[in-house]
Copies of this chain bind each other. A is one copy, B any other.
Amino acid sequence: MPTVKLDPIDRKILAELQADGRMTNVELAKRVGISAPPCLRRVRTLEEAGLIRGYHADIDARELGFEVQVFALVGLSSQAEVDLSAFEQKCREWPLVRECHMLNGEIDFILKCVAPDLSTFQSFLTEHLTAAPNVASVKTSLVIRNAKDEPAVPFEVLEDRLAKSA
């Protein structure tokens, strides 16, 4: 059950823009089966509702010289909220950390990192990440290859689910 009410046209708009964020509004309108003005109004509404957080070019980091991708599993020694927040703030400040997710279970955080080469990453790891206050354990794994990397929302699953509940 979505937090906001969306009709099938809104969902189609979201699916199309997730697949191609640079599509023109008239093309989008054609695909969802309405004319351009109401289509644009819907897009603006979805943006303002926060359902569309933004649009980003998907850039090949490796081609740009970021040959190293690493996942880091981080455990903290204190899970008090103030300490969790302090660690999250550090992650926001470290440019090599691209994602930081707080998890349940024995791992506290998972970080997705990039670096131009291994030695840059290792410097970051020893001088910043493991050296940060409250960091108890860090396990890192290099990404060998990416088998799948899709945007967050599987609209097929959403539509299936709505069809069944109807």
> In whole angstroms, what is the CA distance A52 to B56 when docked?
10
> In whole angstroms, what is the CA distance A141 to B146 when docked?
20
Contacts of A20 in B (CB 8 A): 54-56
A154: interface (CB < 8 Å): yes
Contacts of A146 in B (CB 8 A): 99-102
> In whole angstroms, what is the CA distance A62 to B153 when docked?
9
Q: Is the Cβ of B21 less than 8 Å from the Cβ of A50?
A: no
Knowing A152-B61, A153-B61 are in contact, say whether A92-B147 is a contact too (CB < 8 A): yes
* Chain copies in complex: 2
Knowing A148-B99, A152-B114 are in contact, say whether A60-B51 is a contact too (CB < 8 A): yes
Q: Is the Cβ of A98 less than 8 Å from the Cβ of B150?
A: yes
A2: interface (CB < 8 Å): yes
Closest chain B residue to A87 by CB distance? Answer: B147
Q: Out of B49, B88, B103, B154, which one reaches A98, CB within 8 Å?
A: B154
From residue 127 to 156 of chain A, which have CB atoms closer than 8 A to chain B? 139, 141-154, 156
Q: Is the Cβ of A59 less than 8 Å from the Cβ of B52?
A: yes
> In whole angstroms, what is the CA distance A14 to B54 when docked?
16
Nearest chain B CB to A20's CB is how many angstroms away?
Answer: 6
A157: interface (CB < 8 Å): yes
Interface residues of A (CB under 8 A from B): 1-4, 6, 14, 17-22, 49-66, 69, 71, 88, 91-92, 95-105, 107, 109-110, 114, 116, 139, 141-154, 156-158, 161
Which 3 pairs show the lowest CB-CB distances between chains A and B? Answer: A88-B147, A17-B57, A21-B55
